[in-house]
Amino acid sequence: MKSSEITDVVSCLDTGRTLFYYFKDRYCFDLIQYEIKRLNTPYIAIHDLKQLNSGRFLQKPAVKQAIGILGKNTITAADIELCKPTKQMPFTLTVARWGNGARGHDQTTRNQCNLVLQLNFTNHHKQMFTRLVKPEKYERPFSFFGHPIRQDNKDTLAWARMDV
């Protein structure tokens, strides 16, 4: 991407705190929801859902238990939303610019920049990291300068460069 395009994209985004709520096997719930919406139907029979690609997720213990609690033969996308666990981990999402157009260092397919999506530590992760790893002020394990991590002394758990 061109640097000006990244500036445009970032200016369109919400500047407040953006959270991503995670729980084990969240992707299963999300993909079942997506499948129901993709079919453009208000509901789907559990039997019919089993025949689709996302039907295999019905065997996951968390999904099986959640749908079993509903006690229905059909489900809606809204039902899936209600089935999601209430205990979730809130990760903060941030975006950044990666690269400056110098071909040798950017590791991109084009001599331009990337928009980077960063998944940052939760407070719980930060406390555990500090307690177990004991990072020093100027020595940050897992914070390599060659990776598009947060530069404000916060810890990035994962990141994805988007070469759009």
Give tens-digit pLDDT for 66-91: 888 888 899 999 999 888 888 999 99
User: CA-CA distance, 22 to 122, in Å (whole number)?
Assistant: 11
User: CA-CA distance, 39 to 35, in Å (whole number)?
Assistant: 6
The arithmetic mean of pLDDT across residues 149-155, rounded, is: 75
DSSP designation for 155: P
Measured CA angle at 31 (ends 61, 35), to 5 deg: 120
Supply φ then ψ for residue 10, to 5 degrees.
-60, -35
Q: Give the pair of three-digit tokens for residue 117.
A: 């999506």
- List, for residues 1-37, the tens digit of each pLDDT value: 888 888 888 888 877 788 999 999 999 999 999 999 9
Per-chain mean pLDDT for the chain: 84
Residue 150's pLDDT band (cuts 50, 70, 90): confident
Amino acid letter at 130?
Answer: T
The arithmetic mean of pLDDT across residues 56-73, rounded, is: 91
Among 20, 48, 21, which Cα is nearest to 35's? Answer: 48
DSSP three-state, residue 103: helix
pLDDT at 130: 81
Residue 127's pLDDT band (cuts 50, 70, 90): confident
pTM: 0.75
DSSP three-state, residue 117: strand
